[in-house]
Chain A
Amino acid sequence: MPVPFVSATFLDTVTIDPTGANISVYGQGPFEFSARLGYDMGRKEDDSDHLRGLGDVDMGAVVGAKAAMKFGQAEIFAQLDKTIGGSDGLEGTIGIEVTQPLSQSLIVGAGASVVFADEKYMQAYFGVTPEQSARSGLARYDAGAGLKRADFSISATYMLNQNWMVRGQAGVGILVGDAADSPIVVDKIQPTGMLLVGYRF
């Protein structure tokens, strides 16, 4: 079933996409600061048999801020996202992204980041309360604040012509700390992959 995406950027300042809106509030030289308004879809226990009995993590609004600094082809960034409602959690991300054009039509990129989360977020997604334990059969578990995961990705974008492009991306996330030790977690290694064909208007 198709998943619709609606996204647009206005004057390179406001970007609206399926995850919400990003607004570039300050840009000077290599520095850029932006604000974000989005949402966290939460988690449903019906998503997996392993989640049965844990209940749902409700959806919430996300308000965030990001600071980035460019060094040539590289950009380092720090991002903070607060969920209002749902987990009521706070996530912080620090990372680096590098993009390098190899030719007029081919761009490759790589990224690495680490994600921190507060206790509310960790407990909502990785903790198991006594009640949840009784319903699910999973061991009771208290997940504390700290480093949650590390992510690594590579990508390649090929411009077929002035309008068409193909993009592939592969990545892996590694859950660490209390997240990795949670009985909710079946596999600490979280691979992702994507292949897209796009048309630029």
Chain B
Amino acid sequence: MFKMVSGMFCGRASLAAMAILFSTHSGIALAADAIAINSDDFIAPPEPSRFGRFEQKLADWHVVLGGGAIIVPKYEGSD
């Protein structure tokens, strides 16, 4: 049996593509162990603005927010 989980995720900087890792917890088996895809290859850096200093601090952080569905076995070894 499988469990479908829908919800939100935040990824890593670059473009943290979420990867599934098996966890033995009650069905929700997912992880953000990174298959890191460097979005800098695709996305030009933002232009500086009058909020430059503040934005510079924020630029140290990278966030991807989203949602989706994951299907995994209920436990490691279940059908």
Size of the A side of the interface (Cβ < 8 Å), in residues, is 70
Residue of B whose beta carbon sits closest to that of A47: B26
The digit string for B28-64, where 1 denotes a CB below 8 A from any CB of A, is 1111111101010111100000000000000011111
Task: Given A8-B10, A190-B73, answer yes or no on A41-B79 (Cβ-Cβ < 8 Å).
Answer: no
| Most chain B Cβ neighbours within 10 Å, of A10, A47, A104 | A47
Known: A9-B13, A201-B63. A185 touches B77 (CB 8 A): yes
B71 touching A155 by the CB < 8 A rule?
Answer: no
A4 within 8 A of B: yes
In angstroms, how far is the closest chain B Cβ from the Cβ of A198? 3
B35 to chain A, nearest CB (A): 6
Contact B62 A9 (CB under 8 A): yes
Cβ-defined partner of B7 (8 Å) among A2, A48, A97, A193: A2
Q: 1/0 per position for B1-37, CB-CB distance to A under 8 A?
A: 1100111111111111111111111111111111101
> A175 to B76, Cβ gap below 8 A?
yes
Q: Which one, B12, B35, B62, B63, contacts A99 given CB within 8 A?
A: B35
